[in-house]
Amino acid sequence: MYTFIARLWKTLGGRTQWRLARLQHSTFLVYAAGIVRDDEGRVLLLRHRLWPDHRPWGLPGGYVNAGERLPDGVAREVLEETSLRVRVRDEPVRVRSGYRHRVEAFYEADLVGGELALEEAEILEAGWFSPDALPAALAADLKSLIRTLSAPTR
């Protein structure tokens, strides 16, 4: 029986296989964020309007669009939220899950241009922070990630 099912599966082709797999599995969101640095090594952090009051500071980022490469999603979100252009590195520095139906990917990015102008519907404030002077209302795991990536041994 399993041999028959395997042969049938292989004859369906990729597009049909994908559609059947999607019916069986829950959908999920992919969130991508950028650890954006300026020439002085400071990290761009945003105070988000829609985030909880106890931790409103975070990295620029957002949900990746269907068919969009994750690094391209980071660059787009940074541009939308701040009007800054960045060069996003190809490999994520961290990928994690834990939120229901959500995967998060974090990428390092370098500032390449633009002038800071906030998207006021989502962002209340932006700042460039030294890794040793991060806001208290930034999630502990993000503080740790930023400090680890900023360590001199890297």
Burial environment of residue 6 by CB neighbours within 10 A (0 to 12, 13 to 18, 19 or more): exposed
Please tell me whether residue 108 adopts helix, strand or coil conformation: strand
Confidence of residue 154 (pLDDT cuts 50, 70, 90): very low
Range 29-150: architecture per CATH: Alpha-Beta Complex (3.90)
Q: What's this model's pTM, rounded to 2 decimal places?
A: 0.81
End-to-end CA distance of the chain: 53
Q: What is the pLDDT of residues 73-124, one digit of tens each?
A: 999 999 999 999 999 999 999 999 866 678 999 999 999 999 999 998 889 9
Residue 94's alpha-carbon distances to 104, 111, 145, in angstroms, are 8, 20, 8
Is 53 within 8 Å of 88 (Cβ atoms)?
Answer: no
Do residues 94 and 145 touch, judged by C-beta distance below 8 A?
yes
Kindly give, in sequence order, each residue whose CB lies less than 8 Å from that of residue 67, ignoring residues fewer than 6 positions away.
none
DSSP designation for 138 = B
CA 147, CA 100: separation in Å to the nearest integer? 27
Residue 60's CB is within 10 A of a number of other CB atoms, namely 26
pLDDT tens, position by position, 14-63: 778 767 776 766 677 899 999 999 999 999 999 998 888 888 999 999 99
